[in-house]
Structure 1
Amino acid sequence: MSLSERLTTMEEYQPWSREASPDSRHRKMSFNPVGTWTQAAHEEPVGAFEVPKWKRLLQVFFAVIYCLFAAGVVFGYAAIKPVLLEEGVYRDRCTQKELDEDVPVCYEQELRLNLMFTVAAVSTNVVALPVGTILDRYGPRISGILGAIFVAVGSLVLAFAKDLPFDAYILGYLSLALGGPFIFISSFQLSNTFPQYSGLILALLTGAFDTSSAIFLFYRLSYQAADGAFTPKKFFLGYLVVPVFILVVQVFFMPSTSYKTVGELITQVEETANDVVHDSDDEIEDEDMVRRLQDARRGHRDSIVSEITVLLGTKDATEQTKEEDKKRNISGVWGALHGRPASEQIRSPWFILIALFTVLQMTRINYFVATIRSQYTYLFHSLDKAVEINNFFDVALPLGGVISVPFIGLVLDNMGTTFVLSLLVTIATTIGVLGVIPETWAAYTSICLFVIYRPFYYTAVS
């Protein structure tokens, strides 16, 4: 298929953009949720064909590795919370009566620890706004370096939290949380390194994000195996290897600017089509010289076209259009708000209802992660039983995210929006009902549903 056919196919995917602006296809991909189409401060995106294949493979590999170790590590809170309790974090907030009774965790201590996670979880979502702006304006390398700095600061603060004269645990955990989006979101553009496999690359990055919550699980297991000798200070000082690795990779291997999207690559080819004949050719009297210059330009253009064609693959445009039309028809709500101004979209029932649904579900998800041990201690009147369930949850949370990714893709590609949202509500309601039944089978079933529901919800809403 020709590259012009590809452009036609892509424009069919986004008809509203053409209506909004006759030159919309020349816009670059933006991560900025609040900005405009103003020129970015950093250099223009680079075509993937201009970078050696081995280097692009290495970039994707490194991105998956550092996302695995840093992107969503704060969501392993349920795993590290027992370590913090064992270390006596916030134990000074217990009343004398609670200390005399030697309760495993006192009321104020529980609230403070949960506040630490709540602040981190909220900040992870809110910081996406400035991350998008920075990414658009200064590029993925700067964003990744900032992420590494946040992770390094968080590790250092948590390592020396006991010795600092202020409440450093909340600050340290917050810094770890802020580093995650800078690292994770800046990696999305790497899906354009191999456009034919962009879905696979995004799936690997998403899977790495979900699995990163297991970092604290492995630490807790090491802590328990060493009978407490592997203290948080030793762990977080050792964890500094991760931000150092990210910093080195960003400086020496990762691109300073985002890779061009498929649309931008096609536009580049169209622009080079007019580069064969230049106005300056009229100033050259030697016709053979002009011919040689034009042949060289034509060869350069054909070389670029060939490289981009190989990069994009040879999938038929008609087949692409049919597949996209099928997804639109399945959706049932495609284009409901296309072409409307942002103010009207925000006031619409679509936005209001999905925003309320998101607020409720995010609160429920984060509350479950933060208080799972306390919930089941109360439900079963047994700390040992709650610890057993908590340990299962620590393993199931990262594992569920990885296992469910392909199935989530199948559901979203083949089911309508109404069905997907109904399924989300049904699963969430089932989790809530099972969460109040004081039976072991109900607890484990609820957790299994939760670890599948969490990535399903994130993917569906986004």
Structure 2
Amino acid sequence: MTLYERRSSLEAFDRGASPATSERRKLSFNPIADWAPPQPPAITSVPKPSTSTRLLQIGVAVVYCLLAAGVVFGYAALKPVLVAEGVYRSSCTVEEREADVWVCNGQELRLNLMFTVAAVSTNVCALPVGTILDRFGPRVASLVGVAFISLGAAGMAFAADLAPLFDAYVPAYLCLALGGPFVFISAFQLSNAFPAHSGLILALLTGAFDTSSAVFLAYRLLYQSSDGAFTPKKFFLVYLLVPAFILLAQVFIMPHHSYQTPGELAEQAGDSSPDEPSDTTPLLPADDSPRSDVWGALHGRPATSQIASPWFLLITLFTLIQMTRINYFVATVRTQYAFLLQSDALAAQINAFFDLALPLGGIFAIPFIGAVLDHTPTLFVLSLLVATASVIGAFGLVSTMWAAHVNIVLFVLYRPLYYTAVSDYCAKVFGFATFGKVYGLVICIAGVGNLGQTGLDALTHRRFGGDPRPVNGALEALAGVVGLALVVFVAWRRRGLRKDVDE
């Protein structure tokens, strides 16, 4: 601007219109009088639904997880119905048929194949479930689960009619197994609907998963009380109401997008990319509650970086060993105690007690699990898991009835605590932005490792003459070493996280 232009603009100013007294600015020699420290960006997000809506969503999710999430693990109750209906009876030899054995060897192997394929697939499919969940959201993932459950129920209903053409039991049961994780894992994000009670919400969902094994137990009781009139075809046609209920819930009740953690909302407010976390990204929640000891340890990092960290490697190894121990015990509880107690009758009593205690344990453990996860540090939870697993392993080596009952009671309470604690650990350490991939990979690797159960069973019977103690003892020792390493690492890194926050 030229000197003439500056002068003209000044002359155009009306000197008679001086500001009022209240509008005058005080003369100050303070160089920072009008300076204010920069404020961090406000955390903005899509408003959460009302409290009643969120409670309804959690309640609905618990109900459909109770009906569909882990229903295939009630196979021990369904198996007698299938045997009574003559499923795979054609696999028996002429001699076995003439002897009128309850179940022949060929029939037993084909029936067990149904459960083996379903159990392994349930864990392995956690990775694709997680990928779909991260990319398309919980609604799409749940609808995929609805499709699988519908196919599975329809296949089981008409499997007997299709028997002359092909074996529909294995693929149908497989579809039921695949549908469970889609609806179950998709519900985990509801724990962020009420962050202060996330542990209780996860405990409710996991308890529903464990208790869902009682669906086939209830059907077996109905089948026996009706003298076989309530056939599998009738039951599974009625069961088609379950995927219909889930479909309606997803369309009209459940959230379209996952609820987010406070750390993820802060990252969005700071506009920080996963590769470049901003200085304003909180490492821990604002409160100093005990559960915040590892919160946000790897939030905001890409999944590849999280998977390469010791946080992931140690929890994956621990999960692999513990899941193998858990599923191996579920599959062999009767044969183990037949050897330990040297009595098939006593082993049958223990097995009957276990069938009843397994779903009940998921129910009774819910308040305990919620309190532990919500009000104690993650380090304490991991230490409790390692210590309890060691106690269970010790009772499993004792050849008495009282020890067997104590072992089963601890086991059915420990199982839901363990699975809930793993998902809670993944949410707190890795965040929900990559939760599906990371948690899915943990369960997937553990599921693949569970294929080794067949080898453990063969080792027990062929090498140790049916004695389960050598295999159980080795698994317990291995779990103790890996579990101790996990606890030591978390304790060390927790101090580092606290130090970073204090600074």
Scaled by the length of structure 2, the TM-score of the pair is: 0.63
Q: Is the 2:284–2:292 contact (alpha carbons within 8 Å) kept by the matching residues of 1?
A: no
Matching residue of 2:363: 402
Matched position secondary structure for 2:259: coil
Q: Is the 2:208–2:362 contact (alpha carbons within 8 Å) kept by the matching residues of 1?
A: no
- Alignment map for 1:87-236 (pairs within 5 Å): 87-164=85-162, 165-236=165-236
> In the alignment, is residue 446 of structure 1 matched against residue 444 of structure 2?
no
Note the C-alpha offset of 1:59. Answer: 1.9
> In the alignment, is residue 365 of structure 1 matched against residue 326 of structure 2?
yes
Q: Is the 1:114–1:370 contact (alpha carbons within 8 Å) kept by the matching residues of 2?
A: no
Note the C-alpha offset of 1:245. Answer: 0.7
Matching residue of 1:323: 289
Residue identity in the other structure for 1:93: S
State which drifts further: 415-424 or 143-152.
415-424
Flag the 1:211–1:199 CA change in 2: closer, same or farther, 3 A: same
- Alignment map for 1:371-386 (pairs within 5 Å): 371-373=332-334, 375=336, 386=347
Matched position secondary structure for 1:65: helix
Mapped to 2, the partners of 1:457 and 1:46 lie a distance apart of: 33
Note the C-alpha offset of 1:356. Answer: 4.5
Matched position secondary structure for 2:289: helix
> In the alignment, is residue 423 of structure 1 matched against residue 387 of structure 2?
yes
Q: Is the 1:118–1:366 contact (alpha carbons within 8 Å) kept by the matching residues of 2?
A: no
Post-superposition Cα deviations, 1:220-243, rounded to whole Å, max 9, x if no partner, equal: 111111122211111111100100
- Alignment map for 1:215-294 (pairs within 5 Å): 215-265=215-265
Q: Is the 2:207–2:416 contact (alpha carbons within 8 Å) kept by the matching residues of 1?
A: no
Post-superposition Cα deviations, 1:55-84, rounded to whole Å, max 9, x if no partner, equal: 333222211111111111111122222222
**Aligned residue pair count:** 370
Equivalent position to 1:456, from 411, 417, 431: 417
Mapped to 1, the partners of 2:265 and 2:104 lie a distance apart of: 59
Flag the 1:163–1:442 CA change in 2: closer, same or farther, 3 A: farther
Matching residue of 1:30: none
Note the C-alpha offset of 1:111. Answer: 2.4
- Alignment map for 1:45-56 (pairs within 5 Å): 46-48=46-48, 51-56=49-54
Post-superposition Cα deviations, 1:29-75, rounded to whole Å, max 9, x if no partner, equal: xxxxxxxxxxxxxxxx8431xx3444333222211111111111111
Post-superposition Cα deviations, 1:250-287, rounded to whole Å, max 9, x if no partner, equal: 1222222223433455577789xxxxxxxxxxxxxxxx
Residue identity in the other structure for 2:324: T
Q: Is the 1:427–1:453 contact (alpha carbons within 8 Å) kept by the matching residues of 2?
A: no
State which drifts further: 375-384 or 94-103.
375-384
Note the C-alpha offset of 1:133. Answer: 1.4
Mapped to 2, the partners of 1:441 and 1:263 lie a distance apart of: 48
Note the C-alpha offset of 1:447. Answer: 2.1
Q: Is the 2:199–2:369 contact (alpha carbons within 8 Å) kept by the matching residues of 1?
A: no
Mapped to 2, the partners of 1:5 and 1:203 lie a distance apart of: 38
Post-superposition Cα deviations, 1:301-337, rounded to whole Å, max 9, x if no partner, equal: xxxxxxxxxxxxxxxx99954324x863xx8xx97x9
Post-superposition Cα deviations, 1:412-453, rounded to whole Å, max 9, x if no partner, equal: 62564773354144134235314xx3x543443332222122
Unaligned runs of 5+ in 2: 1-37, 272-282, 424-503
Q: Is the 1:424–1:457 contact (alpha carbons within 8 Å) kept by the matching residues of 2?
A: no
Residue identity in the other structure for 1:167: D
Post-superposition Cα deviations, 1:103-160, rounded to whole Å, max 9, x if no partner, equal: 3222232222222112111111111111111112212111111111111111011111
Mapped to 2, the partners of 1:214 and 1:140 lie a distance apart of: 26
Mapped to 1, the partners of 2:309 and 2:351 lie a distance apart of: 41
Matched position secondary structure for 1:258: coil
Unaligned runs of 5+ in 1: 9-24, 27-44, 272-316
Q: Is the 2:199–2:370 contact (alpha carbons within 8 Å) kept by the matching residues of 1?
A: no
> In the alignment, is residue 72 of structure 1 matched against residue 70 of structure 2?
yes
Q: Is the 1:47–1:259 contact (alpha carbons within 8 Å) kept by the matching residues of 2?
A: no
Mapped to 1, the partners of 2:314 and 2:258 lie a distance apart of: 34
Mapped to 1, the partners of 2:40 and 2:167 lie a distance apart of: 56
Flag the 1:203–1:356 CA change in 2: closer, same or farther, 3 A: closer
Mapped to 1, the partners of 2:408 and 2:52 lie a distance apart of: 41
Q: Is the 2:144–2:182 contact (alpha carbons within 8 Å) kept by the matching residues of 1?
A: yes
- CA-based RMSD of the aligned residues comes to 3.8
Flag the 1:267–1:363 CA change in 2: closer, same or farther, 3 A: closer
Note the C-alpha offset of 1:369. Answer: 2.5
Q: Is the 1:47–1:260 contact (alpha carbons within 8 Å) kept by the matching residues of 2?
A: no
Mapped to 1, the partners of 2:300 and 2:146 lie a distance apart of: 39
Matching residue of 2:435: none
Post-superposition Cα deviations, 1:158-203, rounded to whole Å, max 9, x if no partner, equal: 1111122222222111111111111011112223333344333222
Mapped to 1, the partners of 2:372 and 2:56 lie a distance apart of: 31
State which drifts further: 398-407 or 177-186.
398-407
Mapped to 2, the partners of 1:175 and 1:453 lie a distance apart of: 28
Mapped to 2, the partners of 1:378 and 1:103 lie a distance apart of: 23
Mapped to 2, the partners of 1:199 and 1:231 lie a distance apart of: 40
Whose radius of gyration is greater, 1 or 2? 2
Q: Is the 2:81–2:223 contact (alpha carbons within 8 Å) kept by the matching residues of 1?
A: yes
Residue identity in the other structure for 2:145: G
Scaled by the length of structure 1, the TM-score of the pair is: 0.68
